[in-house]
Amino acid sequence: MASADSENRPGTQEAIPQAVKIIVAGGFGAGKTTMVASVSEITPLSTEEVMTEASQGVDDLGGVENKTTTTVALDFGRITINDDIVLYLFGTPGQDRFWFMWDELVEGALGAVVLADTRRLDTCFHAVDFFERRGVPFVVAVNRFEGAAVYETEEVREALDVSAGVPVVMADARERESSKEVLVALVTHIIDSRRPAMSG
Amino acid sequence: MSAEGRHARRLTDRGTDSSTDGNEPRPDDGREDAEYERFLRPYAVDVGTAEAVPPTTAGTTGPADLDLLALVMAARTPGRHEWLRPERETILNHALRARTVAELAAEVGLPVGQVRVMVAEMVADGSLQRCGPSRPLGRQDILHAVLVGLRSL
Ligand SMILES: Nc1nc2c(ncn2[C@@H]2O[C@H](COP(=O)(O)OP(=O)(O)OP(=O)(O)O)[C@@H](O)[C@H]2O)c(=O)[nH]1
Ligand SMILES: [Mg+2]
């Protein structure tokens, strides 16, 4: 046990938890920040990333000139799982032009949640494509907004063309319990899809 | 929309990759352009990122080695070194326990890229030390623990 005054001294040998992450992706305004906030134990933190010169060169293809830097806000929340593990939830930047950040964001991630906004399902195609291509396990969480057409999960699955193995669940990102269920569905899916087939 | 839709879209996007340099104006078709951009970026930027990464001397920590979840901890209390460098003082005060680079960036309110450079310098001058988990776990153990933890939230 550490002595009484050691707690506030730097370098104190206190157990250091492993940091792991899950990505919350989806189109602009799909509810990413809301979902991160609803399950996070802290008010979501925000950091900024500045676009580099190299990235800017690519961005110029879009015709944006005379810009040297652009900042992108990254939201993230935290869930202490136990003494050994802290889970971070990172929301992807909503704007399409910040795709280049996804590479770093998904590096080492356990998996991802794709929030599908029923008012504009097409806005999450890119996230689905990205995770499929990278082999990042994901679930689709269908966020039902007021006034939006009501879809069955199977209709959404068909519209998004995700394989039968990918869970598609209904969600309300504003509800902690619902967001928690989505994360449980994701982790269950990751565990199941990693388990080697035993029967056969 | 049919299942074919997304794949068709994907193929079209790939097609435009070689047929346009992106400078051609495309009136009335902002969406098409946006889609094109989204598909281009993940590939094109890989290269840029790699080039932007400064070479690191073996055995030392450079900014490029510090990902968002890299853990660092204060190796000393703030002192004269932090005179007129409030961000560093903030970092040291916040890193009494192991902290991720992302958390430190949020805490000092500076872009992650800048904080990475700062943290790398502080590791180099001995103010901060990089640390790993006390009990590193395998991926399966992590997943099962995360599942239990989430369920009991
Ligand atoms: N009805 C309903 N509204 C929601 C839900 N999730 C989010 N909202 C609302 O939708 C709006 C946008 O939510 P955000 O969480 O900011 O969306 P975002 O994906 O982070 O947006 P960007 O970061 O700008 O792309 C907010 O006003 C939320 O209150 C949901 O599940 N149901
Ligand atoms: Mg947001």
C-alpha A29 – ligand 1 centre gap (Å): 5
**Interchain contact B59–A (C-beta under 8 A):** no
Q: Is A30 in the pocket of ligand 1 (CB under 6 A)?
A: yes
Mean pLDDT score, B5-29: 41
C-alpha A75 – ligand 2 centre gap (Å): 7
CA atoms A74, A127, A114, A145: torsion sign: positive
Mean pLDDT across chain B: 71
Query: In which band, very low, low, confident or very high, does the pLDDT at B26 lie, cut at 50, 70 and 90?
Result: very low
- In whole angstroms, what is the distance from residue A170 CA to residue A142 CA? 5
Residues 114-133 of B with CB under 8 A from A: 114-115, 129, 131-133
Q: Please name the residues in contact with A102: beta carbons below 8 A apart, sequence gap of 6 or more.
A: A25, A92, A130, B42
> What is residue A72's three-state secondary structure?
strand
A45 forms bridges with which residues in the sheet?
A76
- In whole angstroms, what is the distance from residue A31 CA to residue A120 CA? 13
Mean pLDDT score, B17-37: 42
Query: Tell me, what's the ipTM?
Result: 0.83
Chain A hits for B132, CB-CB cut-off 8 Å, are 16
Q: Is A161 in the pocket of ligand 1 (CB under 6 A)?
A: no
- In whole angstroms, what is the distance from residue B34 CA to residue A25 CA? 18
Gyration radius (Cα) of chain B, Å? 22
Ordered by start, the domain boundaries in chain B are 29-153
Domains of chain A: 16-199 (3.40.50.300)
Residue B74 has pLDDT above 90, yes or no: yes
**CB–CB of A109/A103 below 8 Å?**
no
The pLDDT value given to residue A14 = 76
The pLDDT value given to residue B77 = 87
Q: Is A174 in the pocket of ligand 1 (CB under 6 A)?
A: yes
Which of B134, B136, B63, B76 lies closest to B105 in space, CA to CA?
A: B63
Gyration radius (Cα) of chain A, Å? 19
Count Cβ atoms below 10 Å from residue A56 Cβ, excluding itself: 17
Write out the H or E segment, with its range, that includes residue B128: strand B128-131
B93-137, pLDDT tens digit by residue? Answer: 999 999 999 999 999 988 888 899 999 999 999 999 999 999 999
Interface test with A, best of B32, B45, B46 (most A CBs within 10 A): B45
The pLDDT value given to residue B58 = 47
> What is residue A117's three-state secondary structure?
strand
Report in angstroms the alpha-carbon separations of A116 from A99, B31, B66.
Answer: 17, 19, 32
- At residue A92, φ and ψ (nearest 5 deg) are -75, 155
A17-43 burial string, b = 16+ CB within 10 Å, else e? bbbbbbbbbbbebbbbbbbbbbbbeee
Query: In which band, very low, low, confident or very high, does the pLDDT at B59 lie, cut at 50, 70 and 90?
Result: low
Q: Is A34 in the pocket of ligand 1 (CB under 6 A)?
A: yes
Decide which of B29 and A50 is more confident.
A50
The pLDDT value given to residue B100 = 96
Crossing angle between the packed helical segments B101-108 and B112-124, to the nearest 10 degrees: 110
Q: Please name the residues in contact with A28: beta carbons below 8 A apart, sequence gap of 6 or more.
A: A94, A95, A96, A123
Among A38-47, B4-13, B54-63, B112-121, the least confident range: B4-13
Query: In which band, very low, low, confident or very high, does the pLDDT at B143 lie, cut at 50, 70 and 90?
Result: very high
Q: What is the mean pLDDT of each run of 10 residues along chain A (200 residues)?
A: 47 81 92 95 83 48 50 87 96 76 90 94 92 96 85 91 94 96 98 67
